[in-house]
Amino acid sequence: MSSNTPTPQHYVAPVKNASVTVDAVRIDEKPSNLWLDAWRDLRRRPTFWVSLAFVVVLIFVAVFPWLLTQMNPIRDCNLAFSNQGPEAGSPLGFTRQGCDVWSRIVWGTRTSLIVGLLATSIGTIIGVIMGSLAAFYGGWLDSLLSRVGDIFFTIPYIIAAIVVMTVLSDYRSELTLAFAIGGFSWAGTARIVRAEVLRVKQSDYVMASIALGLSRFKTLVVHVLPNAMAPVIVVATIGLGTAIVAEATLSFLGIGLGSLTMSWGNEISQAQTTIRTAPMTLIYPSIALTVTVLAFITLGELLRDALDPKARAQR
């Protein structure tokens, strides 16, 4: 080949420098799960802290009522102070029987919370057992337990509690009243648990647990129920306020815990006869009942929104 032959030139199209980004794994990011996400959402909401503060104060009053009043709500009554206004040591005045309104409201807090907690616990336990067994095992057991739940769902638990407390009028106590309320209000919880267990039991870790030889009952208790309790906690929190209202309603009707037991329902019932001459004796226990129920219902609503990823994303 001749040396005069031109050497072929190679042309390369110009390439612009472009920066390529690669998604890096952020190892310093805090771990996240349903409960952590819910807590991070709740702690940014002032309503949560307000309702939680009310609940903490109510629990403190119910546990230590003697720290807030030195007067006995039953024995320290004097007709000479009938329907009188506030004075030193009695900031809310006196009832028609001359009893201190403040001490009766304080001690009534204990009764309302005890009955509410017991009734909610009873209803939740029954609902979790019935709903989880029906959903996890299915078949004829699901049909049987679902029909039993439908029967209880159609019975208004207030009417059922009235019947129970009337029949057991000689055995009135906080536990009896709690069974009368919680024993007929579990059907709604059972439906929620059943739907949640049906969702959770389709997860891979449940099938892997059964495949590894763990019994179905242990799988239900160890793996399914802990991952299905989020909506149950929400329903129980809201149901606590409903149970307190039920206790006050039954006591107002005279079939609750009796007139000698401190109850906001009893106070409202006794004060209605003097609403024209001493309206504050009715207003004070009504405010206590309203604030208590509102605090628990608000807390339950906030928990429901915080535990729902869709609701968090829409805010």
DSSP of 215-273: -HHHHIIIIIGGGG-HHHHHHHHHHHHHHHHHHHHHHHTT-SS-TTS--HHHHHHHHGG
Cβ 136 vs Cβ 197: under 8 Å: yes
127: which 2 tokens? Answer: 């609902």
- Of the candidates 100, 99, 98, 101, the residue with the CA atom closest to the CA atom of residue 82: 98
- What pLDDT does residue 155 have? 87
Cβ 266 vs Cβ 247: under 8 Å: no
- What pLDDT does residue 31 have? 59
Where do the domains of the chain lie, and which CATH numbers do they carry? 34-77+92-314 (1.10.3720.10)
- Of the candidates 130, 144, 240, 115, the residue with the CA atom closest to the CA atom of residue 187: 130
293, containing H or E segment: helix 280-306
- Alpha-carbon distance 73 to 106, whole Å? 9
- Each residue's pLDDT tens digit in the chain (315 positions)? 455 655 555 555 565 555 555 444 454 455 566 778 778 878 888 898 999 999 999 999 999 988 888 887 777 777 777 778 788 777 888 888 888 888 889 998 998 899 999 999 999 999 999 999 999 888 899 899 999 998 998 888 888 888 988 888 888 888 889 998 999 989 989 999 999 999 888 888 888 888 888 888 888 888 888 888 888 988 998 889 899 999 998 888 888 877 677 888 888 888 888 888 888 888 999 999 999 999 999 998 888 888 776 655 665
Three-class secondary structure assignment of 123-171 = HHHHHHHHHHHHHHHCHHHHHHHHHHHHHHHCCCHHHHHHHHHHHCHHH
pTM tops 0.85 = no
Cβ 289 vs Cβ 249: under 8 Å: no
184 phi, psi to nearest 5 deg: -120, 5
193, containing H or E segment: helix 187-200
Buried b (16+ CB within 10 A) or exposed e, 252-261: beebbbeeeb
- What pLDDT does residue 130 have? 93
